[in-house]
Amino acid sequence: MKFAAPSFIVCLGGGGPLEREGLLRTPKIPALFMPLPVLITESPEEFNRLYEALKDDLKIVGTVEHLILAHIAELAWEIGRYRRAKVSLINSAVPAALKNLLRPIVRRQMTQNQPPREFQLLLKDETELRTDFEVGKEVDRLAHQWFVDEDDRKLILEMLAENKLDEYVIEMEAMRIVAPELERFDRLLASLEWRLDKALRCLAEFRGGFGRHLRASVDRVIDGKVLAVEVKSKKSPPTAA
């Protein structure tokens, strides 16, 4: 039986009728990931585990299927990278979010301890400048202590609670701060996930419809920890009577 190469294979430089039986005898291609699509902050070993887990889940055989798998593994790796980057982006905005929330609270507390209004009118500019400086200094201190001191963390939560706010408002404010960047990440993720679906459809098309549950397998590998997959021995075909 002969199989026509899907468009993805043509893009990779293949094409024309392909003999399935010939592909079964072809080993995997180690040069597909030279160099590996791994950043200096990422682990080549983790990528290799991802690749091997996908290969076992998708039961990859032959040169063409390894070409498709190379594309699938790289896309799955990039999707995981962008998902981690989104979380890191929000976390990086937490200090600024804390300052935005604490600034009006601290200012209100400090103004309660200021001199009488008649005296403030005489030194309005100086008072405002001193207040701004003191507020900024205290807000910076509290935002830093949130990450290093449990007692100050509880104090900040009490300050928020007195103003009808809770810890989740910090996440909300952090996401608001980085909303434009998150939107760009979402567009990139949508593009990568569309390309991953296309690559999986390509594998299913190449196999003549043998690709069900492919996306479920890939999602499990992307979202969960890649563990070593035991190689199950194949059952020998029953002997003819």
d(CA 52, CA 49): 5
- C-beta separation of 47 from 78 below 8 A: no
pLDDT of 215 strictly over 80? no
Backbone angles phi, psi at 17, to 5 degrees: -65, 140
Least confident of 50-64, 132-146, 157-171, 196-210: 196-210
Q: How far is CA 10 from CA 17, 67, 68, 71, in A?
A: 11, 11, 11, 13
SS3 217: helix
Per-residue pLDDT at 13 exceeds 70: no
Find the mean pLDDT for residues 204-208: 84
Average pLDDT over every residue of 90-98: 96
Query: What's the pLDDT score for residue 193?
Result: 96
Q: Is the pTM of this model over 0.75?
A: no
If one compares 185 and 64, the residue with the highest pLDDT of the two is: 185
Whether the CB-CB separation of 190 and 14 falls below 8 Å is answered with no
**Is pLDDT above 90 for 229?**
no
Mean pLDDT for 32-57 is 87
State residue 158's pLDDT score. Answer: 93
Pull the structure tokens for residue 208: 């003549």
